[in-house]
């Protein structure tokens, strides 16, 4: 995969997560991550996707705390898609367990 393709696909997934974010601060941080994905080096993309996954996790927990099952499902699906893309693009390890 080319650098431009990976950055574009990552930006698309970050935009989807940003659109689903219910917290303005997290939406702003996702916008900043999109900018970093679009303008940064390939080496920086691993850090971008790792932070985006952490934000997706936070969004899931927030939705659970509010009892908002549809939002939880949406955030979890977007997070899963982001993780799968990261693994396929070799930005993340295939093993999601913490080390």
What pLDDT is attached to residue 47?
Answer: 96
What pLDDT is attached to residue 1?
Answer: 61
Locate the domains of the chain by residue range.
3-88
Report CA-CA distances (Å) from 36 to 30, 32, 66, 95.
10, 6, 30, 25
What pLDDT is attached to residue 98?
Answer: 56
Percent of the residues in the chain that have a pLDDT greater than 90, as a whole number: 84
Average pLDDT, integer, range 54-74? 97
Give yes or no for residue 96 having a pLDDT over 90. no
What pLDDT is attached to residue 54?
Answer: 97
Question: Please, are residues 83 and 61 in contact by the beta-carbon 8 Å criterion?
Answer: no
Nearest Cα neighbor of 30 from 16, 46, 44, 45 is: 16
pLDDT single digits (tens) 20-36: 999 999 999 999 999 99
Give yes or no for residue 2 having a pLDDT over 70. yes
What pLDDT is attached to residue 64?
Answer: 97
What pLDDT is attached to residue 99?
Answer: 47
Work out the number of other CB atoms within 10 angstroms of the CB of residue 25.
9
Spatial distance between the Cα atoms of 6 and 45, rounded to a whole number of angstroms: 9
* pTM of the model as a whole: 0.90
């Amino acid at each position: 995969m080319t650098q431009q393709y990976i950055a574009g696909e990552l930006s698309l997934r970050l935009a989807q997560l940003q659109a689903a974010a219910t917290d303005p601060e997290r939406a702003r941080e996702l916008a900043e991550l999109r900018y970093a994905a679009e303008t940064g080096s390939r080496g920086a993309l691993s850090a971008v996707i790792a932070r985006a996954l952490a934000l997706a996790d936070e969004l899931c927990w927030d939705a659970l705390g509010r009892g908002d099952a549809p939002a939880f499902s949406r955030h979890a699906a977007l997070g899963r898609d982001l993780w799968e893309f990261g693994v396929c693009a070799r930005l993340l390890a295939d093993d999601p367990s913490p080390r």
